[in-house]
Structures are given as structure tokens and as C-alpha cells.
Amino acid sequence: MAGGYDDRDGKIWLDGELVDWRSANVHILSHAMHYASSVFEGERAYNGKIFKSVEHSERLLKSGEMLDMPIPYTVEEIEAAKYAALEANGLSDAYVRAVAWRGAGDDMGVASSKNPVRVAVAVWEWGAYYGDAKFQGAKLDIAKWKRPSPETIPTAAKAAGLYMICTMSKHAAEAKGCSDALFYDYRGYVAEATGANVFFVKDGEVHTPIPDAILNGITRQTIIEMLKEKGLTVHERHIMPEELGTFEQCWLTGTAAEVTPVGQIGEHTFEVGDITRDIAESYEALVRA
């Protein structure tokens, strides 16, 4: 599959039916376009099976609830839609994007309770999110923006509006020759990258930020379970920026990122060490099992 994402062959599941890719459109006055009333999931299929698929569908519905946007499909119906999209496009290894949003309707102000909630599933082939950085170690900038307080926005939701500062921060990072950017949160603690959680290694033990102001990624949770099964100590805690120079290894986790080693954050460098390589290889084996 090639070309812009709006101009491809294939099918997209939209509101209960498979439609031609180029026909999967929305009206310019869709509420989500004006007020960010949208939630989504990013998933990967390996050998025809979507990894942690049900958990992603459950989180999509939960995100909708947090935005006061009840999604009119069950987990089972969303599951069927995802696999229908894979089959219709003849894909077994693919990225899966399920998205729900407030469409166009009787409301066109901040309130949108009269507008329908629409749902779509698109799938496409997508390689390593960070390209060669997955093997060589990504280089991260430090974002100027901060992840917000959960008192200001539902930080536990995978909501489109939360990614505005991610887009700006990644653009700024790429302009500096970096792969991504690392956020601090509103208190000044190390938080996450623009679309991935972060892990560090020091003296054979793993440290990762508490997800109290960031998304508790499904891949993050999977990696923590795997590390503990390997007998490694995992500290979920607040991490201060001045600690970055004390860590020996670092990696990012996410559905798109999978497990990507980090070689540099700002002025701090990290080795792609044994623990990083082992967990990356173990994760790859798990998702393809």
C-alpha cells in the first residue's frame, strides 16, 4: 500500500460496514474536527492476530466514557470490525487504528450530545515506528511542553486532544535531528515520549514513571509483567530530570514503538545493553507466538 493516507486502495470499516478507502469521509462540520471530541486506539496484528486486541477495545470504550461520549458498539462488535478490516484488506501483519468521534449533527457548539458518535477501523502495513532507531537507539529531545495535570484533562483517556503538544514536540525534535521528544509532567517529573512510555535501567534494576499523569500503556503493562517474570526488580516511581544522567540503559514502549532502545536524551547517553536487547527480543517473540 502506498500513497497518501486519503488516496489508497482497500477498505475501511465505517459505522458498521466496509466502504472503499477513498470514500471513508466525514463532514467538515464534524464536532471532533472543531472540539477534539475523539478517542482512538493503535494496535498491531502479527500473523493475523491482533496483540491484546480485547484490551484495546475495552480501553476505547472507557476513553469514550471519560469524554462523555458513549460509543454505540460493544467490545465484541469492535473486535469483529477489526478482523473484518484485516480480512478485507488481505493483511495479517498490520497496524490497526480504531477511532470514535462526535460527528456532524444538530449541535455545532461546545456541547454535542445531539450529535452521533461514529466509529471507524482502518488497517495498513507499517514497519518500525522509529525506523533504524529500533536497532541503533533513538535520540530524544526534551519537549518544552509539559504533560498536564489529571485535574485539567482526562489523562487516562487515549484522546486525540491530548496529542496536540505531542505533534508540536515531535516536529521540534525532528528539526533537531532527533527521533522523538521526552516530556516532563506538570510537576517536573519525567513523564513519557510523544507516543510511548519510557523505561530506564540502573544497577540491573528497572525504573519507569508512575502513570498518574500519563497513559498507562498496554505495552507498558505487558513489559512490566515480562520483566517481573524474568526476576528483574521494577520500580514504578516519580523520576526527577537530574536522574537521567545516572541511568545506564533506556527504552521506549508502545504499540507502534514496540520496544525501541534509546541512545540519547538531551545531553545524556545510554548503552543498548543486555536488559534492553533481551526485553526487545522477548517482546518480539511474545507478539508473534
Q: Are strands 94-102 and 117-124 parallel, antiparallel or unpaired?
A: antiparallel
And the C-alpha cell for 237?
Answer: 516511581
Starting at the earlier edge strand, list the strands of the sheet with 49-50: 17-20, 11-14, 117-124, 94-102, 38-46, 49-50
Helix (H, G, I), strand (E, B), or coil: what is residue 206? strand
Q: Which residues contact 200 (CB under 8 A, 6 or more apart)?
A: 206, 207, 208, 239, 244, 247, 249, 250
Query: For residue 216, which amino acid is it?
Result: N
Spatial separation of the C-alpha atoms in residues 98 and 79, rounded to whole Å: 10
Helix (H, G, I), strand (E, B), or coil: what is residue 174? helix
- Residue carrying the nine cell digits 525534535: 173
DSSP state of 159: B
Helix (H, G, I), strand (E, B), or coil: what is residue 259? strand
And the C-alpha cell for 282?
Answer: 522477548
Catalytic annotation present for 158? yes
Query: For residue 271, which amino acid is it?
Result: E
Q: Which of 11, 82, 134, 158 is catalytic?
A: 158
Q: Using an 8 Å Cβ cutoff, are 66 and 100 in contact?
A: no
Q: Using an 8 Å Cβ cutoff, are 18 and 84 in contact?
A: yes
Phi-psi region of 283 (alpha: psi -120 to 50; beta: other; left: phi over 0): alpha
CA distances, 56 to each of 44, 132, 164, 197, 217 (Å): 10, 27, 22, 16, 10
Catalytic residues: 158
